[in-house]
Structure 1
Amino acid sequence: MDDLVENIYAPIEVGEGVALTRTERREQQARRILAAAKVCFVRSGFKGASMQEICAEVGMSPGALYRYFPSKEAIVEAICEADRREDAVLFARVLQEPDVVEGLVLGAMAHIRHMHEDDNAKLFAEICSEAMRNPAVETTCMKNMVEVQQMFAAYIGKAIERGEIDPPVGLDALLPTLMSVAHGMALNDLPAMGVPYEKLEILFRAMVVGMLRPTASGRV
């Protein structure tokens, strides 16, 4: 499945009269299934949405759909894996920011924008809710979270070693707290509630400054 997941969101450029290859057709069908599943998960919830409902939404027989994804958990895994790959590219750029406060703010705001502008907040709120009662979904979510935590742990840890910040607690408490706040802001889709991005950025920066406590040397 990994090879399929790696390419399912890649755009396929097909000129008029050009036939798709077997691989391209498979990728195109996988994208259609995932798009339909997202609609069903948001509309009916993960538990309420059945594979039959997804089949009806995508216009595909159960036998055909099961050849791509054998279960709803497999569909969630594909959705999360694609999102993880997008996050990895985004955060790789964010972590090049030399000012750790600005880097964390950039990362949080990018995550909030992604959830809001791509209409993913309700979907991932449903997935996170299902993870609390479904071990397979929990494993998928934890895999993604651990990878992001490792990236930012190294980023913040180096800033501590350089003497640029002096947080009041260790990374074991600091990092999950920072991530929970940023993720919570994104899942609650505050921009949809009328809170402007500019104000969210001001608030998140103030929180990060208070938690990281930049030193004089870090501000030079």
Structure 2
Amino acid sequence: MARPPLSPEAVQQQRERALRAAFVLFTRHGVESVSLRAVAQELEMSPMALYRYFPGGKGELLATLRGSGFEALAAELESAIVGVDDLLERLLRLTLALIHFATSQSALYRLMFDVTQEEEHDVYLATRRERAWRTASTCFAAAIRAGLLRGDPKTLPHVFFAAIHGVIAFEFSTQPDPDRRLSRLIGPMLETLFRGSGGSLATLRRVRRTFRASNPPPVTRRGTS
């Protein structure tokens, strides 16, 4: 006898339960522990039953989790620059928002950036990742057009993000030197990046002031969120 169809609300509730269970598994044991069998066991259902909610299997489950992370990051970045017209201030606020997101939601941040997936699972994820990236790239393009910075508008935001992400990764792992914390490195690194991108002395002074005064919170270590 065929199972009765589930309401959209019931499907969504079960998907959210599965996503929460998968995230707990990832947080505790890493991505290798996230399988449909393990998630189904947490939910006390069969792995085949879980395919009703995630027909794409583990790939869809992870892509949905990661996409929700990028959606949350996009919202935080957008909120950080609402009503801010000063182009440099927008870039500084975006940086602080990224650091805050990474340090306050470290497990989610690692899931977003440390996990790679096949393209077949990337449609849902790509649209949400693009929303977050669009906010940053638009601000960099505007700063370059205004002469605040010099560089290729497609490349420069990647350079800045790669550097910021690297410092965050050092913080997560305490490598290469446990005394070189994010709060100590972020200011000098950004000052170097702005200088290399044509930032004026006034720009460098503002960067220095902002990141001397700010004190990004310590990162929650691997295994916690």
Provide TM-score, normalisation by structure 2: 0.66
The superposition leaves residues 122-175 of structure 1 with CA deviations (integer Å, 9 ceiling, x where unpaired) of: 423442xx33xx233455555444433332222122222223x132x3123212
* TM-aligned CA deviation for residue 204 of structure 1: 4.5
Q: Which whole-Å CA distance do the structure 2 matches of 1:47 and 1:174 have between them?
A: 34
* TM-aligned CA deviation for residue 86 of structure 1: 1.5
Q: Which whole-Å CA distance do the structure 2 matches of 1:159 and 1:122 have between them?
A: 29
Residue 58 of structure 1 pairs with residue 46 of structure 2: no
After superposition, residues 39-188 of structure 1 pair within 5 angstroms as 39-42=24-27, 45-46=30-31, 49-70=34-55, 71-96=57-82, 97-118=84-105, 119-127=107-115, 130-131=116-117, 134-137=118-121, 142-163=126-147, 165-167=148-150, 169-186=151-168, 188=169
Change (3 A) 1:212 1:135: same
Q: Which whole-Å CA distance do the structure 1 matches of 2:33 and 2:77 have between them?
A: 33
Unmatched tracts of structure 2, length 5 or more: 1-6, 207-225
After superposition, residues 197-212 of structure 1 pair within 5 angstroms as 198-212=183-197
**Residues matched between the structures, number:** 192
Residue 16 (structure 1) aligns with: none
Which residue of the other structure, out of 190, 196, 205, is the alignment partner of 2:171?
190
- Aligned-residue identity in percent: 20
Give the residue type in structure 1 aligned to 2:102: M
Cα RMSD (Å) of the superposition?
A: 3.3
Structure whose residues are more often helix by fraction: 1
* TM-aligned CA deviation for residue 214 of structure 1: 2.7
Residue 5 (structure 1) aligns with: none
